[in-house]
Amino acid sequence: MTDTSTRSADGRDVDELDIAPENGWNALFLDGEWVPAGDRDLIDVENPATRTALTAVPSATEDDVDEAYAIAEEAQSAWGQRPPQERAAIVSDACALLGEYADDLEWLFAVECGGVELKADFETQLAQGTMEVGAGLAMRDGGRRKDSVTPGKENLLVREPAGVVGVITPWNFPLYLTSRVVAPAIALGNSVVLKPDEHTPLMGGLVLARVFEEAGLPDGVLNVVPGYGHEIGDHFSGHPVPSVMSFTGSSEVGRGVGQRAVGAYTEPALELGGNNAHVVLPDADLERAIDAGAFGSFTHQGQECISINRHVVHESLYDEYVAGLADRAEQLPIGDPREEGTLVGPVINESQRDKIVGFLEESVANGATVEAGGGHDGLFIEPTVLSGVTSDMPVACNEHFGPVAPVISFETDEEAIEIVNDTEYGLSGSVHSTDVARARDVADAMETGMVHINDQPLNDEPHVAFGGVGASGLGRYNDEWIMDTLTTLKWISIQREPREYPY
């Protein structure tokens, strides 16, 4: 039997948390009910820092997915007809509840996904921000009138809910990356079926279900089916019911999700991987660039699609930059995220650790030099800085998704741009220069969806368009851009006067 005796920082058992249902999370959330696991298989949820069991959740079946979509389809019509202020109020109440549960959320971030306090605070604020913006969408732009080329005709463009929205979310920022779709979808009158990643079913799904339940969301509008991607993912993403399929995760998996969605005439919204470059031009403020580089590489152990994957530094600053970044890496406290002062926690699982360590070892064998870190213990990987890196080394040409900072040298701005664009990905990036016009020229030439000048790529604001190009995805999230995905424009014309036809 799974041990659920893990305790929070103030001594409470997990099943005594305010945001936990009485059954200790051992349930699906369907039609407003917590459905017991019954004879379903269970997914053990483990603390990546201690490798101890936190709890277990049921592994949903394809039949559960079918039921969830049927429930959502039935619930959507009535929900979409609710006044926009009612829908907005429920999302706003859910946002307020996240603030009330901030301490419990901080603990859950630590024990479920290895998130330190800094990351927990950051993610909770992002989730609240996206809920605030999402709630506002309910009252935004119900449509517009357009003049007609036909005499006596009036054209109306009416914005309607897309219908049922399928959502698949990852383990790295589970609460926020779920909220940024679920909150606006609900506010705009859609219903949702959510499959959180099997590593973070609580923060990625069941916690949000509990919050919206408490906020008064009608039954069936949000349904949560935790499950293994290899068991129900294809069925979930290729299902005929949803009108929109939102997926955040790897490019490899995302390609399949998108293909299945399109095959079912479902609109895909895909935010996928990245190989983000941090470009340091010869006239950069070196300390600012190093500060940004350390934050962009090592926050949440580098487990973010917009983390710095490559540091591309001018040869005149290269040695100083490497030394400064290595010094920062060596000073970062590593340990259990529940311990005060910890800035680097564990990576999520053994598979992720093995991939990162494999990239490191192969890159060193090919000529890279470890300037700081390089070791690992359990799921803890030391913040690592590598010099002598070339673009074809595994740590540079792959999305390593770990606390690793490969540093590549360049001679000219044109060479830097060539290095940056030498990847199938195009999500985010950053450029440092004291000449903003020069930095802007480089930023304009970078084939990415987002670039940040004199900062680092780890930026997301709920009211600003977020997304990439190439293998980094399709579409944009946040504010009016996600509203375009989560609603359908219908053209209604009214012929006010008799029309003359040619026959």
How many of the other CB atoms lie within 10 Å of CB of 503? 2
Q: Strands 369-372 and 376-377: what pairing?
A: unpaired
**Inside any domain, residue 22:** yes
Of 100-109, 190-199, 286-295, 456-465, the poorest mean pLDDT is in 100-109
The answer on 286 and 340 residing in a single domain is yes
Task: Return the closest-CA partner of residue 169 out of 237, 225, 233, 249.
Answer: 249
Q: What does the pLDDT average to over 78-106?
A: 96
pLDDT-derived band at 25, boundaries 50, 70, 90? confident
pLDDT surpassing 90 at residue 1: no
pLDDT surpassing 80 at residue 71: yes
**Inside any domain, residue 145:** yes
Q: Strands 53-58 and 42-46: what pairing?
A: antiparallel
Q: What does the pLDDT average to over 119-126?
A: 96
Q: What is the pLDDT of residue 156?
A: 96
pLDDT surpassing 90 at residue 73: yes
Q: Which CATH number belongs to the domain containing residue 180 in this structure?
A: 3.40.605.10
Residues 6+ apart with CB under 8 A from 406: 309, 310, 311, 363, 368, 386, 389, 393, 395, 396
Q: What is the pLDDT of residue 127?
A: 97
The answer on 226 and 289 residing in a single domain is no
Do the Cβ atoms of 367 and 390 come closer than 8 Å?
Answer: yes
Among the three residues 426, 453, 480, which one is the final residue of a domain in this structure?
453
Q: What does the pLDDT average to over 168-178?
A: 97
The answer on 348 and 220 residing in a single domain is no
The answer on 71 and 175 residing in a single domain is yes
**Inside any domain, residue 463:** no
Locate the DSSP E strands across 61-116.
none
Do the Cβ atoms of 323 and 287 come closer than 8 Å?
Answer: no
Tell me the average pLDDT of the chain. Answer: 94
Q: What does the pLDDT average to over 4-22?
A: 44
Q: Which CATH number belongs to the domain containing residue 431 in this structure?
A: 3.40.309.10
Do the Cβ atoms of 200 and 171 come closer than 8 Å?
Answer: yes
Do the Cβ atoms of 342 and 334 come closer than 8 Å?
Answer: yes
**Residue carrying the six token digits 């399709």:** 474
pLDDT-derived band at 19, boundaries 50, 70, 90? low
The answer on 409 and 307 residing in a single domain is yes
pTM: 0.94
pLDDT surpassing 50 at residue 186: yes
pLDDT surpassing 60 at residue 458: yes
The answer on 130 and 266 residing in a single domain is yes
List, for residues 210-239, the tens digit of each pLDDT value.
999 999 999 999 999 999 999 999 999 999
The answer on 478 and 444 residing in a single domain is no
**Inside any domain, residue 498:** no
Locate the DSSP E strands across 47-170.
53-58, 143-146, 153-161, 164-168
Taking the C-alpha atoms of residue 273 and residue 458, their distance in angstroms, rounded to an integer, is: 13
The answer on 239 and 91 residing in a single domain is yes
**Inside any domain, residue 40:** yes
- Active-site annotation, residues: 271
Q: What is the pLDDT of residue 16?
A: 43
Q: What is the pLDDT of residue 18?
A: 56
Residues 6+ apart with CB under 8 A from 63: none
Split into its structural domains, the chain has a count of 2
**Inside any domain, residue 466:** no
pLDDT surpassing 70 at residue 24: no
Taking the C-alpha atoms of residue 261 and residue 267, their distance in angstroms, rounded to an integer, is: 7
The answer on 221 and 148 residing in a single domain is yes
List, for residues 376-398, the tens digit of each pLDDT value.
999 999 999 999 999 999 999 99
The answer on 359 and 236 residing in a single domain is no
pLDDT-derived band at 26, boundaries 50, 70, 90? confident
How far CA 450 is from CA of 31, 239, 430, 477, 502, in Å, comes to 38, 32, 8, 12, 51
List, for residues 226-273, the tens digit of each pLDDT value.
999 999 999 999 999 999 999 999 999 999 999 999 999 999 999 999
pLDDT surpassing 60 at residue 101: yes
Query: Any bridge partners for residue 487, and if so which?
Result: 161
The answer on 167 and 116 residing in a single domain is yes
**Inside any domain, residue 252:** yes
**pLDDT > 90: percent of the chain:** 93
Q: What is the pLDDT of residue 8?
A: 41
Q: What does the pLDDT average to over 474-495?
A: 96
Q: What is the pLDDT of residue 20?
A: 52
Domain that holds residue 53: 14-272+472-489
Do the Cβ atoms of 496 and 153 come closer than 8 Å?
Answer: yes
pLDDT-derived band at 468, boundaries 50, 70, 90? very high
Phi, psi values for residue 339, rounded to 5°: -85, 135
**Inside any domain, residue 497:** no
The answer on 103 and 76 residing in a single domain is yes
Q: What does the pLDDT average to over 350-361?
A: 97
